[in-house]
Amino acid sequence: MDNDRGKHMNLIGKKLTLRPLERRDLEVSRSWVNNSQIAALLLRVLPVTEIEQERWFESICTSPNRMVWAIEDNSQHIGNVGLYNLDFVHRRAEAWTLIGELTKRGQGFGREATKLLVDYGFNGLGLNKIYLHVDSENTIAIRMYKSLGFVPEGELTAEYFIQGRFKDVIRMRLLAQEWRDRNRI
């Protein structure tokens, strides 16, 4: 089953394009989450098998409360971005961003991809709140999220046990009206 749901949902930015994740993206995506450096930032502990990756993809294709895009720079797949736990009753979702190609980090791709995702969530899907969870030590990501208007909403102490120690997680959120106020032309 290919993810043909939402082929029209390409989101075009200045430097990159978000397009629906496809089966051909699975192996490189799996290699990213199995990289110990990236996995720690994603708060992952266990490696992902090919079967688990396929199941994850199938869940994206069939679940009405998950949307995932591949991030492309000049037709090169450099990461993924998504909305999970889409709740159209309470109009909220959980966002996440991954720049998997290490050579593409620090160039603004994560910020632009997150900005496109958030704008689509608020203006395309009619969400009121987008939230995320980030490792409290991931200062680069926290700074990037704050630059887009996300604010800390709380801290989950000792939430994950990764690489031999407990990690605290910050929950951050952004409301639609705050987004609109920040992005008025």
Using CA atoms, how far apart are residues 99 and 104, in angstroms rounded to an integer?
Answer: 7
Distances (CA, A) of 83 to 57, 97, 106, 114, 160: 14, 9, 22, 10, 21
Q: Is 120 a catalytic site residue?
A: no
Q: Which of 84, 120, 131, 145 is catalytic?
A: 145
Closest CA to 132 of 158, 114, 108, 113: 114
Token digits of residue 94: 């959980």
Helix (H) or strand (E) holding 180: helix 176-182
Using CA atoms, how far apart are residues 177 and 184, in angstroms rounded to an integer?
Answer: 11
Catalytic residues: 145
